């Protein structure tokens, strides 16, 4: 292990990308994510990589997809307004099965919103933002160290499943400096390349595990990639059987592997009466609130999804257990709370704790909420 360093989340993201093997970055300036691009503009060339500043976020993800098709691990980073523009190419990458990583450092919205304030307003967009219905993998780190770790994981998942992977965190995590010890070595995953003959290569022929090989352009396999629905040759088709099979396979690629992909953290949920559901920076505040509540005798716990999508429903169900109340704390108007309700509303009361004023949710306000809900429970409501 190397020594501890004081770095911000955006830098940890850039360093995680480099450690994961990212050698191409295309992006467009936007607060509060620009430090990721700036760091990679300095560090990629020395690592044998390529940096390009594009004309907008649509082009940024387009260039990333082009580079990935050329065999490079590639990433872009943005914030809400740019993330909106990128939806078109997130759909393309999902459809054409091109590995890539998109980082969204969330700021207040909608529209131009609050460029320098934190938010968690993009978490449903990260799942449903592009048209047509597609599988999605979305990771939500809660600390500078975890930004590094999950950026590496994002590349590994993208390369394993040949799909776009989104990392979402907020302005606070992006800009907060924390002392971290980053690992010297990380395990990395590389995409599956074909090993059969070049002649007669069928790029999208049925694969037992649903993951078709992805040769780089220029490596001898000549094939067609398209955002249209395609057949096993990769060529456009409107045949209903092949259309259905493709769409089912694309979804199965994430759904069937969700136990492998899903990740969540629990803190003191075993005997909890009241559980805070929180992710990203809010989970940091929630953890402190839970600790303080416990000191006061409130049986509080924390559930933190690390993968927002696929949503760790089974882990949440298990964590909620006999708890009577789940406080869903988010910096938005209530987005992931719908998933919490879907999973836990039959056994627990789901209480929102939402902030959309550009200020992060504090431990103190969550502690007050925990006290209030605990009091309500002992007050004979149950």
Partner 1 sequence: MTDVRDYLREWAMPHVLCPGCAHGTILRAFLEAVKRLELDPDKLAMVAGIGCSSRLIGYVDFCTLHATHGRAPAFATGLKLARPDMTVAVVTGDGDGLAIGGNHLIHAARRNVDLTVLLLNNSIYGMTGGQAAPTSPAGSVASTAPAGTAEAPFDACKLLEGAGASFVARVMAVDPIMSTNVMVEALSHRGFSFVEVISDCPEYFGRYNALGSGAEMLAWMARKEAGVAAALANKRYVNHVPTASDTSGLATGVFHREERPVFTGLSTQAAR
Q: Contact residues for partner 1 (CB under 8 A)?
A: 24, 26, 41, 44-46, 48-52, 54-56, 58-60, 62-72, 74, 88-89, 92, 216-220, 222-228, 233, 235-236
| DSSP secondary structure string for all residues of 24-87 | EEEE---TTTHHHHHHHHHHTGGGT-EEEE-SSHHHHHHHHHHHHHTT-EEEEEE-HHHHHHHH
* CA angle at 63 for the pair 58 and 66, rounded to the nearest 5°: 130
Instruction: Find the shortest distance in angstroms from Cβ 168 to partner 1.
Output: 23
- In the complex with partner 1, the residue whose CB is nearer, 72 or 180, is 72
Cα pseudo-dihedral 265, 271, 273, 274, rounded to 10: -20
Instruction: Find the shortest distance in angstroms from Cβ 102 to partner 1.
Output: 14
Cα pseudo-dihedral 5, 12, 191, 262, rounded to 10: 110
- In the complex with partner 1, the residue whose CB is nearer, 21 or 305, is 21
- In the complex with partner 1, the residue whose CB is nearer, 237 or 266, is 237
- Tokens (6 digits) for 13: 């993201």
How far apart, in whole angstroms, are the C-alpha atoms of residue 10 and residue 147?
8
- Tokens (6 digits) for 121: 């307003």
Phi, psi of 320 (to 5 degrees): -65, -40
Instruction: Find the shortest distance in angstroms from Cβ 48 to partner 1.
Output: 7
- In the complex with partner 1, the residue whose CB is nearer, 76 or 377, is 76
Instruction: Find the shortest distance in angstroms from Cβ 75 to partner 1.
Output: 11
How far apart, in whole angstroms, are the C-alpha atoms of residue 151 and residue 157?
10
* CA angle at 374 for the pair 371 and 375, rounded to the nearest 5°: 85
Close Cβ partners of 208 (under 8 Å, ≥ 6 residues apart): none
- In the complex with partner 1, the residue whose CB is nearer, 225 or 313, is 225
Instruction: Find the shortest distance in angstroms from Cβ 87 to partner 1.
Output: 11
Instruction: Find the shortest distance in angstroms from Cβ 257 to partner 1.
Output: 27
3-class secondary-structure state, position 208: coil
Is-contact 87 77, C-beta < 8 A?
A: no
- In the complex with partner 1, the residue whose CB is nearer, 56 or 357, is 56
CB atoms within 10 A of CB 4: 11
Polymer length of the chain: 382
Is-contact 99 24, C-beta < 8 A?
A: no
- In the complex with partner 1, the residue whose CB is nearer, 65 or 328, is 65
- In the complex with partner 1, the residue whose CB is nearer, 88 or 365, is 88
Instruction: Find the shortest distance in angstroms from Cβ 233 to partner 1.
Output: 7
Instruction: Find the shortest distance in angstroms from Cβ 129 to partner 1.
Output: 15
- In the complex with partner 1, the residue whose CB is nearer, 73 or 107, is 73
Instruction: Find the shortest distance in angstroms from Cβ 230 to partner 1.
Output: 9
CB atoms within 10 A of CB 213: 18
């Amino acid at each position: 292990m190397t020594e501890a360093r004081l770095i911000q989340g955006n830098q940890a993201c850039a360093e995680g990308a480099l450690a994961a093997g990212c050698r191409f970055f295309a992006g467009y300036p936007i607060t509060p994510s620009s430090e990721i691009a700036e760091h990679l503009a300095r560090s990629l060339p020395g690592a044998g990589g390529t940096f390009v500043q594009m004309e907008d976020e649509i082009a940024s993800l387009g260039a990333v997809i082009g580079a990935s098709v050329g065999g490079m691990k590639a990433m872009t980073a943005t914030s809400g307004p740019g993330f909106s523009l990128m939806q078109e190419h997130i759909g393309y990458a999902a459809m054409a099965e091109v590995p890539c990583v998109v980082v969204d450092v969330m700021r207040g919205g909608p529209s131009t919103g609050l460029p320098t304030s934190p938010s968690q307003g993009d978490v449903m967009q990260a799942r449903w933002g592009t048209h047509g219905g597609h599988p999605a993998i979305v990771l939500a780190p809660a600390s500078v160290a975890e930004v590094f770790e999950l950026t590496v994981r994002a590349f590994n998942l993208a390369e394993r499943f040949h799909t776009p992977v989104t990392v979402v965190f907020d302005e606070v995590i992006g800009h907060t400096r924390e002392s971290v010890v980053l690992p010297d070595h990380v395990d990395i995953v590389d995409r599956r390349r074909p090993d059969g003959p070049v002649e007669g290569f069928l790029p999208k022929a049925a694969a037992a595990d649903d993951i078709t090989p992805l040769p780089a352009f220029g490596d001898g396999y000549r094939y067609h990639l398209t955002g249209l629905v395609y057949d096993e040759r990769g060529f456009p088709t409107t045949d209903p059987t092949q259309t259905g099979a493709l769409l089912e396979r694309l979804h199965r690629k994430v759904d069937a592997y969700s136990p492998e992909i899903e990740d969540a953290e629990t803190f003191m949920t075993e005997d909890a009466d009241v559980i805070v559901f929180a992710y990203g920076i809010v989970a940091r505040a929630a953890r402190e609130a839970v600790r303080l509540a416990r000191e006061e005798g409130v049986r509080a716990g924390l559930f933190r999804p690390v993968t927002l999508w696929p949503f760790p429903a089974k882990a949440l169900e298990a964590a909620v257990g006999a708890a009577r109340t789940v406080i869903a704390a988010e910096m938005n108007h209530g987005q992931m709370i719908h998933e919490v309700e879907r999973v836990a509303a039959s056994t627990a009361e789901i209480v929102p704790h939402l902030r959309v004023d550009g200020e992060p949710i504090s431990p103190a306000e969550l502690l007050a909420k925990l006290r209030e809900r605990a009091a309500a429970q002992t007050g004979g409501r149950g």
